[in-house]
């Protein structure tokens, strides 16, 4: 069971890195006008927040199960 918790943590870290990279790339785009760039950045922020929320909820749900599995030795 602890492998599920570690997998969820890895997904959280990798996913946040992915969204941070996409957000950084959106801030550096000079080919679009300011209004389009701001709209894209706001959209990326929304998706990033949704991803992080779901990942944290999964970790919160898996953590007690992983703890129980480690305490029982299974």
**pLDDT tens column, 39-65:** 888 999 999 999 999 988 888 887 787
| pLDDT for 71 | 76
Mean pLDDT across the chain:
84
| pLDDT for 1 | 55
Confidence bin at 74 (pLDDT 50/70/90) = low
Is residue 25 scored above 80 in pLDDT?
A: yes
Nearest to 49 by CA among 4, 10, 16, 6: 16
């Amino acid at each position: 069971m602890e492998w599920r918790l570690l997998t969820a943590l890895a997904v959280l870290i990798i996913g946040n890195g992915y969204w941070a990279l996409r957000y950084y790339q959106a801030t550096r785009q000079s080919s679009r006008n300011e209004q389009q760039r701001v709209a894209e950045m706001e959209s990326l922020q929304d998706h990033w927040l949704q991803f992080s929320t779901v990942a944290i909820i999964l970790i919160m749900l898996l953590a007690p199960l992983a703890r129980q599995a480690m305490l029982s030795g299974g």
